Each structure stands twice: as structure tokens, then as C-alpha cells.
Amino acid sequence: MKNKLIAAESGDVKIRELIDSDLVKLSEYADNEKVSINLRDAFPKPYTLKDAENFKKMIDSQNPKTFFAIEFQGEYVGNISLSVGDDIYRKSAEIGYFIGQPFWNKGIATKAVNLITSWGFENLDIVRIHAGIFEFNKSSQRVLEKCGYIKEAVFKKSVCKNSEIYDEIRYVKIKE
């Protein structure tokens, strides 16, 4: 196995580049309704190995890289990213992440969010990181709150997921 670029690490959690050997697990974890319900519709459903391969091709071309694998105790468990805005939003980034269901409730997402938040403020020319969370995703709301993100706004009835209308809760962290 080639050396993995590690962006940041904290104890048993690392954020690092996605590698070919992660793709089977990526397709397995992502092809789960309990995961995909919390993600945007652009996320393929069902999620196949071919989707994982196409995703890796896309992120391999990034410069700078802002999409990473989450590793827990040496094992791939999910993805995390910062999507930097453009034009007047060029000093902001949106955070996105998911953890495979077998690894929920282990504090992994909290560590990964803290890692990429620090990494983003140190390595990208941004002053703000935000996330839009569906109202029913209480776990992700708790993760962001534990990481010092502040509930900034509630966008009433602003998202449509599986033909239902929901509020989006916007969280933000500002660079100190």
C-alpha cells in the first residue's frame, strides 16, 4: 500500500487522502438509507462501487485537496470535506461528512470535524466554516455543537428530501 497523505490526526482518528483500498467500504457505508437520508440528493442512491471510483477520480484532481477519508483505529470509516465558496463567498467553506453506521456513537465524527475545522482555518484562506443540517439529523447537530459551531439560523421549509419538506439548520464557526 502506498503512503497515505495524512492531513490531521487526533489519537485514533485521522483525516487522510482517500485510497483505492477504501472504495469497497465507501460503497458499502454510503449505500445505506440511514446514511443517505442525511445527505444531499446529488449523493448517488443506490451507491455502487462505480460511484466510489468516480468520486475518487474527482477528488484526485482537486488542488488543493479538501475531501478526505476518515480513518479510525487504522480503518476507513467515512468521508469529510470542506467546499470553499467562490466569488463573494471565497472566504467561506461548507463542511460535509458522513460516518459508516457501524462506527456511529464512538466520537469519531466529533474528532474528525474538529480536525478538519482546524486544518481548514490553518491551510485554506477562509474565515468561516458552515454546515446546513436537516432538522431531523439531531446527531449531526450535536456533533457540530460539541465542536464549537453555533446555530446561526433556521431556514424554514427550505429543503426537500424524499418528497418531504424540512427546515435546514445552519451552523457556523468563525476563525478566531
Per residue in 101-116, pLDDT (tens digit) is 999 999 999 999 999 9
> b or e along 56-95 (b: 16 or more beta carbons within 10 Å of the residue's beta carbon)?
beebeeeeebbbbbbbbeeebbbbbbbebeeeeeeebbbb
Top-level CATH class of 6-131? alpha beta
Sign of the Cα pseudo-torsion (14, 72, 19, 94, in order): negative
User: Residue 128's pLDDT is what?
Assistant: 98
Percentage of residues in the chain having pLDDT higher than 70: 97
Give the type of residue at 18.
Answer: L
User: Residue 4's pLDDT is what?
Assistant: 55
Tell me the pLDDT of the chain averaged across its residues: 93
Instruction: Give dist(CA 46, CA 79) in Å, integer.
Output: 17
User: Residue 9's pLDDT is what?
Assistant: 76
Instruction: Give dist(CA 8, CA 55) in Å, integer.
Output: 21
- Here the cell at position 129 is 466554516
Is the pLDDT assigned to residue 148 strictly greater than 80? Answer: yes
For residues 145-159, average pLDDT? 97
Closest CA to 129 of 110, 148, 107: 148
Percentage of residues in the chain having pLDDT higher than 90: 82
User: Residue 157's pLDDT is what?
Assistant: 98
Instruction: Give dist(CA 79, CA 12) in Å, integer.
Output: 16
User: Residue 2's pLDDT is what?
Assistant: 40
Q: Do residues 145 and 117 make contact, with C-beta atoms less than 8 angstroms apart?
A: no
User: Residue 6's pLDDT is what?
Assistant: 73
Could you read off the pLDDT of 58-77 as tens digits, one per residue? 999 988 899 999 999 999 99
Could you read off the pLDDT of 6-36 as tens digits, one per residue? 777 778 999 999 999 999 999 999 998 898 8
- List, as one string, the DSSP characters of 48-90: -HHHHHHHHHHHHT-SS--EEEEEETTEEEEEEEEEE--GGGT
Could you read off the pLDDT of 114-128 as tens digits, one per residue? 999 999 999 999 999
For residues 158-164, average pLDDT? 94
User: Residue 87's pLDDT is what?
Assistant: 97
